[in-house]
A and B are shown apart, each in its own frame.
Chain A
Amino acid sequence: MVLTEQYEVTIVDSDERYICDSTQNLLKGMVQLGRKGIPVGCRGGGCGVCKVQVLSGTYTSKRMSREHVSVEDEAEGRVLACRTWPTSSIELQVVGQLQRAVTR
C-alpha cells in the first residue's frame, strides 16, 4: 500500500500556495488546482521551462534533461518541477521561463 501524504507548496515569487499530493509532481499538483506561477511546458523533464529553485523542504526527483539541469544545479536544489515529488512542505522560487520564438 502506498501512503499518500499532502504537503504545502509555496511559490515565493507570487506567494501562491497549494497542497501537493506526494504522488504528484510539483507541476501537476499546481496545474490540477488551477494555480499558476511555474511555467508549464512539456511536463516530461525535457524542455526546462518549469525549472525552480527549492529554498526549503525535501523531495525526490526523476531523471531531468542535463541540457537544463546541471549536476551542480541538482546539488543546489535547482530542479524541474515536473520531475520532482515533495516529501515535505516546500518553498520554491521560479527560475525557468518560456522562450519567445518567431522574433526578428
Chain B
Amino acid sequence: MSMTGVLRPGHVQLRVLDIEEAVVHYRDYMGLIETHRDDQGRIYLKGWDEQDWFSVVLREADDAGMDHMAFKVLDEETLWRLQSDLKKFGCDVERIPEGELDHCGERVRFVAPTGHVFELYANKDHHGNGIPTTNPAPWPEGLKGMQAVRFDHCLVYGEDLDASVKLFTEVLGFQLTEQIVDGDLQLAAFLTCSMKAHDVAFIRQEGPGKLHHASFLLKTWEEVLRAADIISMKDIPIDIGPTRHGLTRGQTIYFFDPSGNRNEVFAEDSHVYPDTPVLTWTADNIGQAIFYHSRELNERFMGVTTGA
C-alpha cells in the first residue's frame, strides 16, 4: 500500500438557511443519496460511489457557509501522530468526541491559518455504494439528478495563504500540484493528498476565511452538459459553465445551492504522482488559468463567496 497519512476529503459540513430546500437541491438535483438525519436535525448525504456513511452534512443556521471540511486518515495511529504534529506546528487542536456526528469516529479539529476549520478522523461507518463487492455492476440503479459520484474537494479563500499551504504540505503531507503566482507571491495553491489534481485549494484574499465552492465528481463531459440541463430545468442559480479550467484541466460547471453556497460538478481533471512537476500559471494569464476558453476573469466567480 502506498497511500498513507491523509487519505481523502471525507466530508464537508455546510450551513444552509432552509434545510428542506437544501436537501432537495443536494439529493434530488445533484443526486447525492440521503443516508441519515440526526437528532440535531442535520441531514447526511453521500455520492453514490462513496463507501462511507456520508460525505456531506447539512446544518440549518442563520448564515450560509462551511462549518468544516474533514479528511479521513489511514488509521487511529496516524490520527494521533498528526494531532501531535499539528500541535507542534502551533495549531490549537480540539478533539471532537465520537458520535458528535452520527456514524463518525473521534475527530481532531484545527483552524488553519486562513481561518478555516478542518478536521481529521480515522473511522466512519461503512455504508457501501449500492453495488455488491462480488461480481459488481458498474453502477447502481435508481440514481437521481446529476448523479454526483463523490464529494471531491473544496476551494477556500483566505489571507494567510503561505501558512495554510505550509501546514498542509509540511504537516499533513499534501503535495502542491498547481499554482498561480504573481512574481514571488503565490495567489492560488492546489493541493492533493492523493493522485488527484486537488483535494483542497486555497486562493489568497484579504479578510476572514471564506468558502468559494464545494465540488463533486461526475464521470464525463456529457454528464457535465446534462448537469447544465438540470440546472435550467430546476431553475438553479447558475454561476458559470459548462467550460474547462486551465488549472487542473477540469471540465466544469458552477452553480449555487438555495442558500448561496457555490457548488461545482466536474469531470476529467489531471492526475499526479509524487514526482510530477508543479504546474505554474502566471498572474498575467490568470483568465486562461481559470477559464481556459473565455480567458476572462469573471467578477462574480472571483468575488462571490459564503462564510467559513
Residues of A bordering B, CB below 8 Å: 40-47, 49, 62-68, 98-104
Indicate with 1 or 0, residue by residue over B279-291, a CB within 8 angstroms of chain A CB atoms. 0000100100000
- Residues on B with beta carbons closer than 8 Å to the beta carbon of A68: 63
- Is residue B185 within 8 Å, beta carbon to beta carbon, of the partner chain? yes
CA–CA, A62 and B16, complex, Å = 13
Closest 6 CB pairs of A and B: A46-B260, A42-B260, A46-B64, A44-B260, A43-B237, A98-B303
Give 18 new A-B contacts, CB below 8 A, not counting A98-B303, A101-B203.
Answer: A40-B300, A41-B300, A42-B237, A42-B260, A43-B260, A44-B261, A46-B64, A46-B260, A46-B261, A63-B62, A65-B307, A67-B64, A67-B65, A67-B307, A68-B63, A98-B304, A99-B205, A102-B286
| Given A46-B256, A46-B259, A101-B203: A67 touches B63 (CB 8 Å cut-off) | yes
Chain A residues whose CB sits within 8 angstroms of the CB of B65 once the complex forms:
46, 65, 67
A42 touches B262 (CB 8 A): yes
Given that A98-B303, A100-B302, A102-B203 are known contacts, is A45 also in contact with B286, CB under 8 Å in the complex? no
B237 touching A102, Cβ below 8 Å: no
Bound-state CA distance A49–B301 (Å) is 12
Q: Is the interface of A mostly helix, strand, loop or mixed?
A: loop
- The reply to whether A101 and B306 form a contact with Cβ atoms under 8 Å apart is no
Bound complex: CA A97 to CA B85 (Å): 41
B306 partner, pick from A46, A62, A66, A104, beta carbons under 8 A: A46
Please report the C-alpha to C-alpha distance between residue A29 and residue B187 in the assembled complex, in whole angstroms. 36
Provide the residues of chain A in CB contact with B258, threshold 8 Å: 44
The answer to whether A41 touches B302 (Cβ under 8 A) is no
Residues on the A chain within 8 Å of B217, using CB: none
Across-interface contacts of A42 in B (CB, < 8 A): 64, 237, 256, 260-262, 304, 306
